[in-house]
Amino acid sequence: MVRRNSFRLPRHPASVGLARRRVRDHLADWGHAGDDPALQDAVLLVSELATNVVRHGPLLEREFEVAVTALADGSCLIEVSDEGRVEPRLRVVTDEAEAGRGLLLVESVAAAWGVWSRGAHGKTVWALLQTDIP
């Protein structure tokens, strides 16, 4: 069975926490307890991808979209879409740097991640989490 939920949020720093809560709630509704490592990883991925949109998305963009899909094989697909066309990329950061590790974290937690172009409508950054999310 495939389960999917998507929602739009304002491009505002407070929306990152809201995205985390919404994904946590959806996965809990699908049978995951709050201490489930898979749920925590999914929430972490959403947090990092939504933060990228809020910090680096187009200034005139008012909203972004978050989608979470529990796939039939037990994996979870996290997608965050915005109207920006600039693809995020991994950065080299020093130990003293206070920012810039988000995609490194995504790469270490996700089985795979990437970017889908939506043409004139921007892009979707996605991350696949290999887990047992039903």
Rounded-to-integer distance, Cα 59 and Cα 108, Å: 29
Residue found under tokens 């790469």: 107
Q: Contact 129/75 with Cβ under 8 angstroms?
A: yes
What is the pTM assigned to this prediction? 0.88
Render pLDDT for 123-132 as a digit per residue (tens, 0 to 9). Answer: 999 999 987 5
Q: Is-contact 7 22, C-beta < 8 A?
A: yes
The pLDDT score that the predictor gives to residue 95 is 66
Query: What pLDDT score does 23 carry?
Result: 93
Q: 99 vs 83, which has greater pLDDT?
A: 83
Q: How do residues 55-65 score in pLDDT, each as one tens digit? A: 888 777 789 99
Percent of the chain with pLDDT over 70: 87
Cα 60 from Cα 128, distance rounded (Å): 29
Average pLDDT over residues 32-48: 85
Q: How far is the C-alpha of 102 from the C-alpha of 51, rounded, in Å?
A: 8
Report the distance separating Cα 117 and Cα 123, nearest Å: 4
pLDDT for residue 100 is more than 90: no
The predicted structure's pLDDT at residue 86:
84
